[in-house]
Structures are given as C-alpha cells and as structure tokens.
Amino acid sequence: MDVISVIRTKRDKGELSPEQIDWVIDAYTRGAVADEQMSALAMAILLNGMNRDEIARWTAAMIASGERMNFDALSRPTADKHSTGGVGDKITLPLAPLVAACGAAVPQLSGRGLGHTGGTLDKLESIPGWRALLSNEEMLHVLDTTGAVICAAGDGLAPADKKLYALRDVTGTVEAIPLIASSIMSKKIAEGTGSLVLDVKVGTGAFMKTIEDARELASTMVALGTDSGVKTVALLTDMSTPLGLTAGNALEVRESVEVLAGGGPKDVVDLTVALAAEMLAAAGIEDADPAKALRDGSAMDVWRRMIAAQGGDPDAALPVAREQHVVTAPSSGVLTRLDAYDIGIAAWRLGAGRARKEDPVQAGAGVELHAKPGDTVTAGQPLLTLHTDTPEKFDYALKSLDAAWDIAPEDTAFEPTPIVLDRIA
C-alpha cells in the first residue's frame, strides 16, 4: 500500500477500498503519511466525495486509531451535542450546564475554530485559569461532580481526527461533507455518550450553504450514530445571520453568562432551550423544564462549578481588546440582512481565528453587533464595533464588511427566518 495510489484513486473519482482507508488513516496517525499528502487526499475527497460505505469505513478507522471511553459508572444518562460550526455560535457554553441542571450528564468534547467559525475551546480559554486539556480521569471526575464537562478530546481519543481536524482548517477542505461527518462522529462515538443531538448549521455563515447539503450531512451523521448504537437526532438551524450580538472569544463568553443569568439575546436563548429539550428527550428525561432552569439560576450554578472544576475563575474579569473601531449605519431604514459569513471573516481577520494551525488567537478580538435584521436603524448610529489588540488589522477586517448588510426603506416588511429549520431523526 502506498499513499500516492490512494490519492490517485480519489483524484480520479474512484472508490477507496476498506483496506486503503484503514491503511491511510493508520499511516497518517503514525506519521508515515505527511501532512502535504493528506492535504492532497482531503482536497480530492472535497472535490469528488465519498459514498456511504467509504464514509462509514473512514469513520470506523478514525475510531480505531485510538481508545473508546465508557460512562456506564455514572448515575445519570449521558447526552451530548455537536454543532457543525457557525458565527457567534456560543450555544455549547450555556447549553451544557443547562442540560446538567435538568438531570443529564453532558460529556462535551469540543474543538477549536475552523476557518471563519469560532471554536468553543478558544472561547473558554479566555477565562483566566480554565483548562481545555484534561486526562480521562479528570474528565470523569468533573462530569461526576458537576454534571457537565467541556474539554478537548484527549490524545488517545480518535487521534487521527485530531491531526486531520487541524489540517483541514488551513487547507481549504473544511467543507467536505465526508470529512465533517467522520470527524464529528468518530469523536462522539469513541467518546461513549448514550445520546447525541447534532446542530447542523445552514446558511451563508455555515459550511453547508443550502438546506439540501445540510440535510445530506445531517442524515449521514444520524445514520453513523444510529448504526453505532448512539441515539442520534439532528436539528437544521439557521446561520444566515450571526447568533446573538457577538462573534469572538471573550465577547461570546460574556454573552453566554448573560443567558445563564436569565437574559441574553432571544435567538441564543431560543436555540439553547430547543437543543436542551432534544438532549433531555434523547436521554429519557421527560419532566425537566430547561427554560425554568435558566430563569431560576440552577444552570448558572452548574456553570460556575464546571468552570472552577477545570481551573477557571468564574468571577474573573474577561479580557478586553485594547482597540475598538465603530462602524456606523450608512443610511436610515430597516436592517434586512446582516451576513454571517462576512461578520465571521471580519472576526477572524481581527484575530479571533487562525490562518495557520499553530497560530494563537486573541481572547478579546471579535465583532459586536448593535442591530439585527428586523431592527430600525438611523444613519450614523453604531452598527458594529470591531475589537482587536492589533489596530493595523482594522482595514483588512473592514474590507470583508463592504457588502455585509442591506438597509431597506422604513416601511419595508420584514419576515424573520425561524431559528430551527428542520429535524432529522
């Protein structure tokens, strides 16, 4: 077996054999296949796709590259959630403690930013002292004592995916449906959760731009999970507009704490509660009221315990960027569009994301929104505030915002898009 033959097979639109898939995943994990060679194969997969048999085998090979966890010793049923990535998508932060407050255990393995989308671990690392890297024993301890844990996958869990995940971020191959599906599901199946709810984003700020592509990805992942004995459900949710009023790291943590305190933007609250209801139902918990757990402070209590258990200080001041630049509305009227992708690119260029897999991110960088589609704005009023420690980045970020919004006459009727578009089970 050699990697050039594997690359050529997919380059020429052939079907990879089970033996080829097993070999290339194992060889890449061991370092026998170089990053540039796996980059070429990933691009061929992006361009030419994989059939269901190939995706299932690729996922199985990723799982087999490492260990599998087991939560049978816990007294609670386990439920996990995964988002395919969006702009302002801080939902995991209030969701995990909320579901734990309602009686489930939430072993939330999360990732870092991919392309223009934010990463849950990058956000949480803006909290002083908080640690993403936990041993399996530490993860189980936090989960058992607080009900929820948000951490990075350990080195022993699907190590092939850990390498490939970082590579996809910097080689233009993030959007490949087979690689998205196998990446997500290999970690979640190996993680050992009993049930899984998938938040599959669709729209300009998502990797899936059309509802058809989102359904294909959701159906693929639901099938992979179900076949592996994990009760799996997917919600297709809108990502044409950023979620909430922030896109960045510390900015989104601050907004998440507002949600846990019973406030926060309506779209963030609505999606958090909808996903919590799905997770609790999948875990067999019928009588919980997640909306009440936000209002009465019990979700906030779990958040504080969870952050402290991972070394963080829930009372510490969050980082603030040294420089801000205000973007004003060019005219008066109704804001009818605020493009999620353009906002995500601006946040990435300001320092909230990475251009190379080894790059650091700025904790305080990002974009703050002062209006959402449907709001009436006045010429000259603040529309966005850009945050960064490196003001030389402002011009580059502003270029991505040239066509980021539409403002229509004040008498224009506006029909909002529902946050949940479809459900696949």
- Residue 373: the pLDDT is 97
pLDDT in tens, 132-189: 999 989 999 999 999 999 999 887 888 999 899 889 878 989 889 999 899 999 989 9
User: What are the strands, taking DSSP E only, across 300-344?
Assistant: 323-328, 333-338
- Residue 384: the pLDDT is 98
Q: Determine whether 375 is an active site residue.
A: no
pLDDT in tens, 282-305: 999 999 999 999 999 999 999 999
Q: Determine whether 187 is an active site residue.
A: yes
Q: Residues 22, 80, 89, 161: which is the catalytic one?
A: 161
- Residue 72: the pLDDT is 87
- Residue 154: the pLDDT is 80
- Residue 155: the pLDDT is 79
Angstrom CA distances, 80 to 192, 246, 275, 306, 415, stand at 10, 24, 10, 16, 33
- Residue 355 buriedness (CB in 10 A; 0-12 / 13-18 / 19+): exposed
Q: Determine whether 357 is an active site residue.
A: no
Q: Residues 65, 83, 182, 183: which is the catalytic one?
A: 183
Partners of 423 in the beta sheet? 235
Residue 189 and residue 203: Cα distance in Å, rounded?
A: 27
pLDDT in tens, 183-220: 999 989 998 999 999 999 999 999 899 999 999 999 99
- Residue 355: the pLDDT is 74
Q: Residues 10, 162, 187, 354: which is the catalytic one?
A: 187
pLDDT by 10-residue block (mean), the chain, 425 residues: 96 98 97 96 97 95 93 93 94 98 95 84 97 93 96 87 86 90 92 95 94 95 93 97 98 98 97 98 95 96 98 97 98 98 97 82 97 98 98 97 97 94 96
Q: Residues 163, 168, 188, 215: which is the catalytic one?
A: 168
Residue 103 and residue 75: Cα distance in Å, rounded?
A: 10
pTM as predicted = 0.90
Map out the domains of the chain with their CATH numbers.
Answer: 3-49 (1.20.970.10), 80-309 (3.40.1030.10), 323-408 (3.90.1170.30)
Q: Determine whether 183 is an active site residue.
A: yes
Q: Determine whether 168 is an active site residue.
A: yes
205 touches 343 (CB < 8 A):
yes
